[in-house]
Amino acid sequence: MDPKVNGQLQHDWGWLIAVYLFLGGVAGGAYTIAAVNSFLGAGLELSTTVGLWIAFPAILIGTLFLIADLGSPSHAVLSGMKPGSSWIARGTWIISIFMILSFLHLVLHQFTSVGDAAGGKTTIDVIAVAGIVFAIGTMAYTGILLSASKGIPFWRSGVVPVVFVVSATVTGHFAIMLGMTLFGTVASTLEPLRTMALEAAGLVVLEVLVIMFFLQAAFRQPDSRESAMRILRKYMFIIGYFILGLAAPLILMIIVYRSAAGAETGIAAVVAIGAVLGLAGGLILRQAVLICGALPTLNIAGFEFRRIHRPKEPKADIGLLPPK
Protein backbone atom coordinates (compact mmCIF):
# COMPACT_ATOMS: atom_id res chain seq x y z
CA MET A 1 0.00 0.00 0.00
CA ASP A 2 1.53 3.30 -1.11
CA PRO A 3 1.22 6.02 1.59
CA LYS A 4 1.40 8.71 -1.10
CA VAL A 5 -1.76 7.29 -2.65
CA ASN A 6 -3.78 6.38 0.42
CA GLY A 7 -3.12 9.70 2.17
CA GLN A 8 -1.42 8.30 5.29
CA LEU A 9 0.93 11.29 5.61
CA GLN A 10 -0.37 14.44 7.29
CA HIS A 11 -0.91 17.34 4.89
CA ASP A 12 -2.18 20.08 7.20
CA TRP A 13 1.22 21.48 8.25
CA GLY A 14 3.65 22.40 5.48
CA TRP A 15 6.23 25.06 4.68
CA LEU A 16 4.40 27.91 6.40
CA ILE A 17 4.47 26.09 9.73
CA ALA A 18 8.07 24.96 9.13
CA VAL A 19 9.17 28.58 8.61
CA TYR A 20 7.20 29.64 11.69
CA LEU A 21 8.87 26.95 13.82
CA PHE A 22 12.27 27.88 12.37
CA LEU A 23 11.97 31.63 12.96
CA GLY A 24 10.56 31.08 16.43
CA GLY A 25 13.56 28.92 17.24
CA VAL A 26 16.04 31.42 15.79
CA ALA A 27 14.42 34.23 17.78
CA GLY A 28 14.48 32.27 21.04
CA GLY A 29 18.03 31.06 20.55
CA ALA A 30 19.42 34.45 19.50
CA TYR A 31 17.70 36.25 22.36
CA THR A 32 18.86 33.76 24.98
CA ILE A 33 22.47 34.05 23.85
CA ALA A 34 22.25 37.85 23.59
CA ALA A 35 20.65 38.25 27.02
CA VAL A 36 23.16 35.94 28.70
CA ASN A 37 26.03 37.80 27.02
CA SER A 38 24.64 41.10 28.33
CA PHE A 39 25.51 39.92 31.84
CA LEU A 40 29.04 38.84 30.91
CA GLY A 41 30.71 42.18 30.17
CA ALA A 42 31.24 44.87 27.56
CA GLY A 43 33.45 42.61 25.44
CA LEU A 44 30.30 40.82 24.22
CA GLU A 45 28.39 44.01 23.45
CA LEU A 46 28.28 43.39 19.70
CA SER A 47 26.86 39.87 20.04
CA THR A 48 24.24 41.22 22.45
CA THR A 49 23.20 43.99 20.05
CA VAL A 50 23.07 41.68 17.03
CA GLY A 51 21.12 39.05 18.95
CA LEU A 52 18.50 41.54 20.12
CA TRP A 53 18.10 42.90 16.59
CA ILE A 54 17.55 39.35 15.34
CA ALA A 55 15.16 38.14 18.04
CA PHE A 56 12.25 40.56 17.78
CA PRO A 57 12.03 40.75 13.95
CA ALA A 58 12.38 36.95 13.70
CA ILE A 59 9.55 36.19 16.12
CA LEU A 60 7.38 38.89 14.53
CA ILE A 61 7.89 37.56 10.99
CA GLY A 62 7.45 33.98 12.21
CA THR A 63 4.11 34.94 13.75
CA LEU A 64 3.01 36.41 10.41
CA PHE A 65 3.74 33.04 8.78
CA LEU A 66 1.60 31.36 11.44
CA ILE A 67 -1.26 33.78 10.82
CA ALA A 68 -0.92 33.14 7.09
CA ASP A 69 -1.31 29.40 7.74
CA LEU A 70 -4.33 30.00 9.99
CA GLY A 71 -5.88 32.09 7.23
CA SER A 72 -7.16 34.96 9.38
CA PRO A 73 -5.89 37.17 12.25
CA SER A 74 -9.12 36.39 14.11
CA HIS A 75 -8.09 32.74 14.23
CA ALA A 76 -4.83 33.78 15.90
CA VAL A 77 -6.81 35.65 18.58
CA LEU A 78 -9.06 32.66 19.18
CA SER A 79 -6.02 30.37 19.45
CA GLY A 80 -5.13 32.03 22.76
CA MET A 81 -8.36 30.90 24.42
CA LYS A 82 -8.40 28.17 27.08
CA PRO A 83 -4.68 28.07 28.02
CA GLY A 84 -5.54 25.68 30.84
CA SER A 85 -6.38 22.86 28.43
CA SER A 86 -4.67 23.70 25.14
CA TRP A 87 -0.97 23.79 24.31
CA ILE A 88 -1.74 25.97 21.31
CA ALA A 89 -3.29 28.56 23.64
CA ARG A 90 -0.36 28.33 26.06
CA GLY A 91 2.07 28.74 23.20
CA THR A 92 0.18 31.79 21.96
CA TRP A 93 0.63 33.47 25.35
CA ILE A 94 4.28 32.41 25.66
CA ILE A 95 5.16 33.75 22.22
CA SER A 96 3.17 36.97 22.74
CA ILE A 97 4.90 37.74 26.03
CA PHE A 98 8.30 36.88 24.55
CA MET A 99 7.63 39.22 21.63
CA ILE A 100 6.82 42.08 24.01
CA LEU A 101 9.87 41.45 26.21
CA SER A 102 12.26 41.15 23.28
CA PHE A 103 10.93 44.42 21.85
CA LEU A 104 11.29 46.24 25.18
CA HIS A 105 14.82 44.90 25.67
CA LEU A 106 15.82 45.98 22.16
CA VAL A 107 14.44 49.50 22.63
CA LEU A 108 15.99 49.99 26.08
CA HIS A 109 19.30 48.56 24.90
CA GLN A 110 19.48 51.02 22.02
CA PHE A 111 18.90 54.00 24.32
CA THR A 112 22.12 53.94 26.34
CA SER A 113 20.91 56.82 28.51
CA VAL A 114 18.25 54.54 29.97
CA GLY A 115 20.86 51.98 30.97
CA ASP A 116 23.07 54.66 32.50
CA ALA A 117 20.29 56.20 34.55
CA ALA A 118 19.63 55.20 38.12
CA GLY A 119 17.64 51.99 38.08
CA GLY A 120 17.82 51.77 34.29
CA LYS A 121 20.31 48.90 34.26
CA THR A 122 18.22 47.05 36.85
CA THR A 123 15.14 47.40 34.66
CA ILE A 124 16.98 46.02 31.64
CA ASP A 125 18.36 43.12 33.72
CA VAL A 126 14.88 42.22 34.99
CA ILE A 127 13.52 42.27 31.43
CA ALA A 128 16.50 40.15 30.30
CA VAL A 129 15.88 37.47 32.93
CA ALA A 130 12.17 37.32 32.14
CA GLY A 131 12.98 37.34 28.43
CA ILE A 132 15.33 34.37 28.80
CA VAL A 133 12.57 32.39 30.53
CA PHE A 134 10.05 33.09 27.76
CA ALA A 135 12.67 32.67 25.02
CA ILE A 136 13.40 29.16 26.31
CA GLY A 137 9.65 28.62 26.54
CA THR A 138 9.30 29.67 22.89
CA MET A 139 12.07 27.30 21.80
CA ALA A 140 10.54 24.43 23.75
CA TYR A 141 7.01 25.20 22.59
CA THR A 142 7.95 24.73 18.94
CA GLY A 143 8.63 21.10 19.87
CA ILE A 144 5.86 20.73 22.46
CA LEU A 145 3.33 21.78 19.81
CA LEU A 146 4.31 18.71 17.81
CA SER A 147 4.67 16.31 20.75
CA ALA A 148 1.16 17.27 21.91
CA SER A 149 -0.25 16.16 18.54
CA LYS A 150 -1.38 12.69 19.60
CA GLY A 151 -2.40 11.60 16.10
CA ILE A 152 1.20 11.50 14.79
CA PRO A 153 3.35 8.96 16.70
CA PHE A 154 6.58 10.34 15.18
CA TRP A 155 5.92 13.68 16.88
CA ARG A 156 4.50 12.19 20.08
CA SER A 157 7.83 11.98 21.90
CA GLY A 158 9.36 13.83 24.81
CA VAL A 159 12.57 14.05 22.79
CA VAL A 160 11.01 16.35 20.17
CA PRO A 161 11.06 19.49 22.39
CA VAL A 162 14.68 18.73 23.31
CA VAL A 163 15.60 18.43 19.62
CA PHE A 164 13.95 21.75 18.86
CA VAL A 165 15.52 23.57 21.82
CA VAL A 166 19.01 22.39 20.88
CA SER A 167 18.44 23.17 17.20
CA ALA A 168 17.04 26.60 18.08
CA THR A 169 20.10 27.37 20.18
CA VAL A 170 22.36 26.32 17.30
CA THR A 171 20.49 28.39 14.70
CA GLY A 172 20.30 31.38 17.04
CA HIS A 173 24.05 31.13 17.61
CA PHE A 174 24.73 30.94 13.87
CA ALA A 175 22.39 33.89 13.23
CA ILE A 176 24.38 36.06 15.66
CA MET A 177 27.68 34.99 14.09
CA LEU A 178 26.36 35.85 10.64
CA GLY A 179 25.18 39.24 11.87
CA MET A 180 28.57 39.97 13.42
CA THR A 181 30.34 39.31 10.13
CA LEU A 182 27.92 41.64 8.33
CA PHE A 183 27.81 44.57 10.77
CA GLY A 184 31.04 44.38 12.74
CA THR A 185 34.56 45.32 11.75
CA VAL A 186 37.03 42.54 11.08
CA ALA A 187 39.39 43.65 13.85
CA SER A 188 36.67 43.86 16.52
CA THR A 189 35.01 40.55 15.68
CA LEU A 190 38.02 38.30 15.09
CA GLU A 191 38.56 36.99 18.61
CA PRO A 192 34.84 36.87 19.57
CA LEU A 193 34.14 34.89 16.39
CA ARG A 194 36.90 32.40 17.20
CA THR A 195 35.37 31.83 20.65
CA MET A 196 31.88 31.56 19.22
CA ALA A 197 33.13 29.14 16.55
CA LEU A 198 34.28 26.77 19.30
CA GLU A 199 30.92 27.14 21.04
CA ALA A 200 29.12 26.49 17.76
CA ALA A 201 31.13 23.34 17.14
CA GLY A 202 30.17 22.02 20.58
CA LEU A 203 26.50 22.85 19.99
CA VAL A 204 26.49 21.11 16.61
CA VAL A 205 27.97 17.96 18.16
CA LEU A 206 25.25 18.10 20.83
CA GLU A 207 22.58 18.44 18.13
CA VAL A 208 23.95 15.41 16.28
CA LEU A 209 23.73 13.33 19.47
CA VAL A 210 20.19 14.52 20.22
CA ILE A 211 18.86 13.93 16.69
CA MET A 212 20.41 10.46 16.59
CA PHE A 213 18.78 9.61 19.93
CA PHE A 214 15.45 10.92 18.63
CA LEU A 215 15.60 8.82 15.45
CA GLN A 216 16.70 5.73 17.36
CA ALA A 217 13.82 6.12 19.81
CA ALA A 218 11.37 6.63 16.94
CA PHE A 219 12.65 3.54 15.12
CA ARG A 220 12.13 1.38 18.22
CA GLN A 221 8.42 2.22 18.35
CA PRO A 222 6.26 0.32 15.82
CA ASP A 223 3.90 3.27 15.26
CA SER A 224 6.69 5.75 14.48
CA ARG A 225 9.14 3.37 12.75
CA GLU A 226 7.75 4.11 9.31
CA SER A 227 8.26 7.86 9.78
CA ALA A 228 11.83 7.30 10.99
CA MET A 229 12.60 5.17 7.94
CA ARG A 230 10.91 7.70 5.68
CA ILE A 231 12.95 10.65 6.96
CA LEU A 232 16.20 8.70 6.64
CA ARG A 233 15.39 7.97 2.98
CA LYS A 234 14.99 11.64 2.11
CA TYR A 235 17.93 13.27 0.34
CA MET A 236 16.74 16.61 1.72
CA PHE A 237 17.33 15.34 5.25
CA ILE A 238 20.55 13.36 4.72
CA ILE A 239 22.31 15.78 2.36
CA GLY A 240 20.60 19.06 3.25
CA TYR A 241 20.50 18.63 7.01
CA PHE A 242 23.13 16.12 8.10
CA ILE A 243 25.87 16.88 5.56
CA LEU A 244 25.35 20.54 4.62
CA GLY A 245 23.51 21.68 7.76
CA LEU A 246 25.60 19.93 10.43
CA ALA A 247 28.80 18.32 9.12
CA ALA A 248 29.91 21.22 6.90
CA PRO A 249 29.35 23.94 9.55
CA LEU A 250 31.13 21.78 12.14
CA ILE A 251 34.22 21.50 9.92
CA LEU A 252 34.14 25.21 9.07
CA MET A 253 33.81 26.24 12.72
CA ILE A 254 36.82 24.08 13.65
CA ILE A 255 38.77 25.73 10.81
CA VAL A 256 37.85 29.18 12.15
CA TYR A 257 38.85 28.29 15.70
CA ARG A 258 42.21 26.91 14.61
CA SER A 259 42.91 29.60 12.00
CA ALA A 260 46.22 31.41 12.09
CA ALA A 261 46.64 35.15 12.60
CA GLY A 262 46.61 37.32 9.50
CA ALA A 263 43.65 35.59 7.81
CA GLU A 264 40.97 37.96 9.11
CA THR A 265 39.09 38.42 5.83
CA GLY A 266 39.08 34.70 5.12
CA ILE A 267 37.82 33.94 8.62
CA ALA A 268 34.81 36.22 8.19
CA ALA A 269 33.93 34.54 4.90
CA VAL A 270 34.22 31.04 6.38
CA VAL A 271 32.07 32.04 9.36
CA ALA A 272 29.40 33.49 7.05
CA ILE A 273 29.28 30.36 4.89
CA GLY A 274 29.12 28.05 7.91
CA ALA A 275 26.39 30.16 9.55
CA VAL A 276 24.23 30.21 6.40
CA LEU A 277 24.54 26.43 6.02
CA GLY A 278 23.69 25.92 9.69
CA LEU A 279 20.60 28.12 9.41
CA ALA A 280 19.47 26.29 6.27
CA GLY A 281 19.93 23.00 8.11
CA GLY A 282 17.66 24.16 10.92
CA LEU A 283 14.88 24.97 8.47
CA ILE A 284 15.30 21.66 6.62
CA LEU A 285 15.11 19.75 9.92
CA ARG A 286 11.73 21.23 10.78
CA GLN A 287 10.31 20.70 7.31
CA ALA A 288 11.52 17.09 7.23
CA VAL A 289 10.00 16.31 10.64
CA LEU A 290 6.69 17.80 9.52
CA ILE A 291 6.34 16.11 6.13
CA CYS A 292 7.39 12.71 7.48
CA GLY A 293 4.72 12.71 10.17
CA ALA A 294 2.58 9.65 9.36
CA LEU A 295 -0.66 8.48 10.89
CA PRO A 296 -0.22 5.20 12.80
CA THR A 297 -0.73 1.74 11.34
CA LEU A 298 -3.19 -0.33 13.36
CA ASN A 299 -2.47 -4.05 13.83
CA ILE A 300 -5.61 -6.08 14.47
CA ALA A 301 -5.60 -9.87 14.43
CA GLY A 302 -2.50 -9.92 12.28
CA PHE A 303 -3.91 -7.49 9.72
CA GLU A 304 -2.54 -3.99 9.19
CA PHE A 305 -4.94 -1.08 8.82
CA ARG A 306 -3.68 2.35 7.89
CA ARG A 307 -5.49 5.44 9.11
CA ILE A 308 -6.39 7.58 6.12
CA HIS A 309 -5.93 11.34 6.13
CA ARG A 310 -9.30 12.83 5.27
CA PRO A 311 -8.96 15.53 2.57
CA LYS A 312 -10.26 19.01 3.33
CA GLU A 313 -12.27 19.08 0.10
CA PRO A 314 -13.64 16.29 -2.08
CA LYS A 315 -11.45 15.51 -5.03
CA ALA A 316 -12.46 13.75 -8.20
CA ASP A 317 -9.28 11.72 -8.48
CA ILE A 318 -9.98 9.78 -5.27
CA GLY A 319 -13.55 8.82 -6.12
CA LEU A 320 -15.49 11.28 -3.97
CA LEU A 321 -16.74 13.10 -7.05
CA PRO A 322 -17.38 11.76 -10.53
CA PRO A 323 -14.56 12.62 -12.91
CA LYS A 324 -15.16 15.46 -15.31
**Cross-strand pairs, 304:** 299
Q: Which amino acid would we find at residue 56?
A: F
Residue 312, helix vs strand vs coil: coil
pLDDT tens for 264-298 read 668 888 999 999 999 999 999 999 998 887 776 65
pLDDT tens for 128-186 read 999 999 999 999 987 887 776 667 888 887 888 999 999 999 999 999 999 998 887 76
Residue 205: which residues within 8 A CB-CB, separation 6 or more? 250
Contact criterion met (CB below 8 Å) for 256 and 197:
yes
Total-model pTM: 0.82
Domain ranges of the chain: 3-318
Q: pLDDT tens per residue, the chain (324 residues)?
A: 444 444 466 666 778 888 999 999 999 999 999 999 888 876 678 889 999 999 999 999 998 888 887 666 665 555 556 666 666 777 788 999 999 999 999 998 887 655 555 555 788 889 999 999 999 999 998 788 777 666 788 888 788 899 999 999 999 999 999 999 888 776 677 788 888 999 999 999 999 999 999 999 888 888 788 888 889 988 999 999 999 999 999 999 999 988 765 566 688 889 999 999 999 999 999 999 988 877 766 554 444 445 544 544 544 444 444 334
Other CB atoms within 10 A of residue 45 CB = 14
CATH numeric code, 3-318: 1.20.1630.10
Residue 241: which residues within 8 A CB-CB, separation 6 or more? 281, 284, 285, 288
Closest C-alpha to 147, from 160, 135, 137: 160
Contact criterion met (CB below 8 Å) for 171 and 278:
yes
Measured in residues, the chain has a length of 324
Q: 97: buried, middle or exposed (CB in 10 Å: 19+, 13-18, 0-12)?
A: middle
pLDDT of residue 314: 47
Closest C-alpha to 196, from 58, 54, 43, 57: 43
Other CB atoms within 10 A of residue 210 CB = 17
Torsion of CA 282, 284, 286, 291, to 10 degrees: -170
